[in-house]
Amino acid sequence: QVQVVEYGGGLVQAGGSLNLSCAASGIISSINDIGWYRQAPGKERELVALISPTGSTLYADYVKGRTTISRDNAKKMAYFQMNSLQAEDTAVYYCKFQVRPSYLSTWRDFWGQGTQVTVSS
C-alpha cells in the first residue's frame, strides 16, 4: 500500500510564509506528477501547484510569484512554500502523488490526509 503524509501547516499571520512538506511511502516503482491542492470552506478542491518528474512546474494564477513547489525524487518527498499569505489562503492543503506501485502496472493517485492552514490578520 502507498501512503502520503503532509507535514506543516497551522496558524500563519497575514503576510507571513508557509512551508509544507509531503512524503510518500510504500513499494513504489515510479512517481509521476506531484501536486499541491487546497480546499477552502464551501469551495471545491483546487490545484495550487504541480511539479513533473523532471522538475517542470505549473502554478495557479493566484499564487504565481509567491509560491514554490519542489521535489526530492530519491526521498519521495515534495515541498511547498508560499509567501505573503492572506486570509483567502486559508484552506486545507493536500498533497497528491501520482504513483505506479510495484504491485500495479498503472498509475494511481494517492492523496495525503490534508493539513489545515489558517491565516490570521
Are the C-beta atoms of 44 and 38 separated by less than 8 Å? no
Question: Does 121 score more than 90 pLDDT?
Answer: no
Mean pLDDT of 101-119: 93
Residue at grid coordinates 497528491: 96
Tens-place pLDDT, residues 22-43? 999 999 999 999 999 999 999 9
Structure confidence by residue, pLDDT tens digits, 51-109: 999 999 999 999 999 999 999 999 999 999 999 999 999 999 999 999 998 888 899 99
Residue 6 in this model has a pLDDT that exceeds 90: yes
63 phi and psi, to 5 degrees? -120, -5
